[in-house]
Amino acid sequence: MKILGVLLAMAALMLSGCTLLSEEKIKLRDLEFTVLSEEKIPAELMTIIEEKKSEPFQITYTDNENLYICVGYGQQETGGYSIAVEELYLTDTNICVDTTLLGPEASEKSNRTPSHPFIVLKTEYLEQTVIFE
């Protein structure tokens, strides 16, 4: 009975190891990007963002020259939020992007005006699917 239990445990570990390896993303290279100010965002893309900004969103947009990766965090109770880009890189099949919403400073929390933090990253045009992490 003990041997069967050990064999089952070993099989489970080996199978989970195979799963982890098959899902592993191998970074080919980091992608260069520019964070766009609202004035630099293409008008059509800005219209889409305005429609979606009250809820969290993740969208991509292309003009066939550049790829725009957009992440919004929905309505927040105050202003003063910022967004950090943790990673933007290319794998053999995807573009991976990871962002983090950073809270306002304590002094900015007194401003009770709601905000809609979002970020637009402009990078080279690539055909790969964007994965938001």
pLDDT in tens, the chain (133 residues): 445 444 445 545 454 443 444 456 799 999 999 999 999 999 999 999 999 999 999 999 999 899 999 999 999 999 899 999 999 999 999 999 999 999 987 766 567 889 999 999 999 999 999 999 9
Question: Model-level pTM greater than 0.85?
Answer: no
| CA distance readout (Å), 72 to 51, 69, 75 | 11, 10, 9
d(CA 117, CA 81): 6
Quote the pLDDT of residue 3: 52
Cβ neighbours of 112 (radius 10 Å): 8
> Is 49 within 8 Å of 70 (Cβ atoms)?
yes
